[in-house]
Homo-oligomer: A and B are copies of this chain.
Amino acid sequence: MNLVQLFNFTHKSDERGASLIAIEGLKTIPFAIQRVYYIQINTLHAKPRGYHAHHQLRQIAICLSGNCRFVLDDGLNRVNINLDSSMNNQGLLIDKMIWHEMHDFSADCLLLLLASLPYDSTDYIHDYLQFKQYLGMNQ
């Protein structure tokens, strides 16, 4: 499996001085959008976030302003991928059962996340060893 899956969105620029990027659930991305959230950084010293995986939730992350570094980990491989606002027409898939972390936020970083399910605290795996154990159980 390729850990880094980026989805390209159509980017419409027009003579009115704006660009418009549209994403349709189950069409542009592989799931229906049940939840949308955005993370806005407001300091030079934002701490890393994430450090969890989900049993079922699938997400798409889009960087609308600034930049940050994602870590994706499937239990065997760990990759880093930098997202910045020049990639605002690309969405990074954070699939279910992928450990993910976000690091090195710029002070103006704004991330948009599209999520396949409503919020469910029981869907989170917050412990990396437990994540590995779940992966083993699923093999």
Contacts and interface: CB of A to CB of B under 8 A. Distances in A.
Contact of A38 (B15, B17, B33, B112): B112
Interface stretch (A22-30, A74-82, A128-136): A22-30
Contacts of A122: none
Nearest to A110: B64
Judged by DSSP, the binding face of A is: strand
A18 B112 CA distance: 13
Nearest to A48: B16
Interface residues of A, number: 38
A20 B111 CA distance: 10
A18 B119 contact: no
Given A27-B118, A65-B110, A17 B42 contact: yes
Interface in A1-60: 15-25, 27, 32-43, 45-49
A18 B41 contact: yes
A49 B16 CA distance: 8
Interface of A: 15-25, 27, 32-43, 45-49, 64-65, 88, 105, 110, 112, 114, 118-119
15 contacts: A16-B47, A17-B47, A18-B40, A18-B41, A18-B105, A19-B42, A20-B37, A22-B37, A24-B119, A25-B33, A25-B34, A33-B34, A33-B35, A40-B88, A65-B65
